[in-house]
Amino acid sequence: GLTQVFSVPYPVWVINTTVIAENQPQYANFQMALCYADTGGIITGEEIVKPGTSYRIVRTANTSMYMIISVRNIDVYRMRLETPKEYYDAYRTV
């Protein structure tokens, strides 16, 4: 599926992904592509085969983006967008 268009205000941030597959873990597959909203060009991507985690560092700020996500034989997946505290403190709006 496709996410809504979003942007992240921090110059460095992370996509922290966890995949849980208990029913058929040997066939579990998670794929994600982070794309520029204006061109559709791929910024980064990830694939997790079987249950596991991924940690992708992204260096794109204030840019319209979306994700394309494909899952197969996955029970649950979680994606967290995180930034180091120093970037959060420097770029947050009060």
The parts of the chain modelled with pLDDT lower than 70 are 93-94
Can you give the pLDDT at residue 52?
95
What pLDDT score was predicted for residue 49? Answer: 95
| Structure confidence at residue 58 (pLDDT) | 97
Strands annotated E in 13-64: 13-20, 29-36, 42-49, 52-58
At residue 10, the pLDDT reads: 93
The per-residue pLDDT for 89 is 87
pTM for this structure? 0.90
Closest CA to 8 of 60, 54, 53, 47: 60
> Checking DSSP bridges between strand 42-49 and strand 29-36, what pairing results, if any?
antiparallel
Q: What is the pLDDT of residue 88?
A: 87
